Amino acid sequence: MLVLITYDVSTQDAAGKARLRKVAKECVNYGQRVQNSVFECMLDASQLLLLKNRLVSLINEKEDSLRFYYLGNNYRTKVEHFGSKTTYEAEGILMI
């Protein structure tokens, strides 16, 4: 299923900057960055649970925000892209 993951991590101090890097690095392992703090990830149920648990453990819930949008398997009719960054095939090969 396609899951859109967005986050907003406070970078007011060094600890926040470290959290931001860790969250981004974890997301890169599972999907494609489509905006600065937005990733599109093709995940099965076990990958989703693992990633969600990892990300929640990384953030500070008093300062940071993390959102998951579940677009499902029929996501092609739910996503439109306009603008400069070229789109990609979400189910294609992901090079890490």
Provide the pLDDT for residue 82: 75
What integer is the mean pLDDT of 6-16?
A: 96
DSSP secondary structure letter of residue 50: H
Q: Select the more confidently predicted residue: 71 or 5.
A: 5
With the CA atoms of 65, 71, 76 and 79 taken in that order, what torsion angle do they form, in degrees rounded to the nearest 10? Answer: -30
Question: How does pLDDT run across 40-87, given as a tens digit for each residue?
Answer: 999 999 999 999 999 999 999 999 999 999 987 766 666 776 777 665
Q: Which residue in 80, 84, 59 sits closest to 71, CA to CA?
A: 80
The answer to whether the CB of 60 falls within 8 A of the CB of 19 is: yes
Q: Select the more confidently predicted residue: 95 or 75.
A: 75
Answer yes or no: pTM beyond 0.75.
Answer: yes
